Structure 1
Amino acid sequence: MPGFIGTAPVRQQLSLYGDKPPGDVHLRSASHVERYVIEAADGSVGHVRGFILDDEAWVVRCFIVDTRNWWPGGKEVLLATQWIDVIDWFAASASTSLTREAIKASPEYDESSLIDRAYEAKVHDFYQKSGYWIEEKGSGPA
């Protein structure tokens, strides 16, 4: 069974159900989102090839971004979902304020390696972003 990030595009839903769409129109099938183009602050940089899921918190932590079609010697990298500023369902794209050069220089993702906290910290440190584990820890009762 495919993972869900959902359903048919909103326009199709509206044509089927009138002006009142069923369910959450922001949900999409993971297999549909896998083809979305990643738009950096200064242009296209790759496309979503997959996702890193947190099986304890049941959230999508990162997009696996394939940059190989955008420049010679491209690679796969991770972009944390909190670094995605806009998802345009109709344009099939996800935008980030990160630059192409930053993404190009980021640590390469190797799907054969275990993603542990040290690797996550390395990626977050590279982008000079605080980790979700710090943000989540600080969000509890004071």
Structure 2
Amino acid sequence: MLHSLNDLENFAINATDGDIGHTKDFYFDDKQWAVRYLVVETGSWLASRKVLLSPIAIKEIDQEGKTMTVSI
């Protein structure tokens, strides 16, 4: 399913062992027209760092709850 990147900003990221942060930005491949990485701000976990997450890890997107479930 197609989603606007603006709509996916600030989504909570839920991993297999709990919340890890929220989406902050996206790295986009302009030649292939594909998102290569999600920039996730970890909040208090990992001392508020930004990490890159591959879109392949996304299992489910909940538009109403503004959450993404990932398989990491």
Instruction: Give the TM bin, normalised by the shorter chain.
Output: 0.7 to 0.9
Match of 2:34 among 55, 59, 77: 59
SS of structure 1 residue aligned to 2:6: helix
Q: Percent identity?
A: 35
Q: Which runs of 5+ in 1 are unaligned?
A: 1-25, 99-142
TM-score (norm 1): 0.47
Residue equivalent to 2:9 = 34
Query: Per residue, is there more strand in 1 or in 2?
Result: 2
Query: Per residue, is there more helix in 1 or in 2?
Result: 1
Match of 1:84 among 58, 68, 71: 58
Aligned-residue offset at 1:47: 0.3
- Whose RCO is larger (CA < 8 A, sep 6+)? 2
Q: Which runs of 5+ in 2 are unaligned?
A: none
One-letter amino acid of the structure 2 residue matched with residue 78 of structure 1? L
One-letter amino acid of the structure 2 residue matched with residue 58 of structure 1? W
CA RMSD of aligned residues (A): 1.5
TM-score (norm 2): 0.87
The one-character-per-residue Cα deviations of 1:72-116 (angstroms, maximum 9, x if unpaired) are 612000110011111111211111121xxxxxxxxxxxxxxxxxx
Counterpart CA distance in 2 for 1:38 and 1:73 is 16
SS of structure 2 residue aligned to 1:85: strand
Name the larger-Rg structure: 1
Aligned positions, number: 72
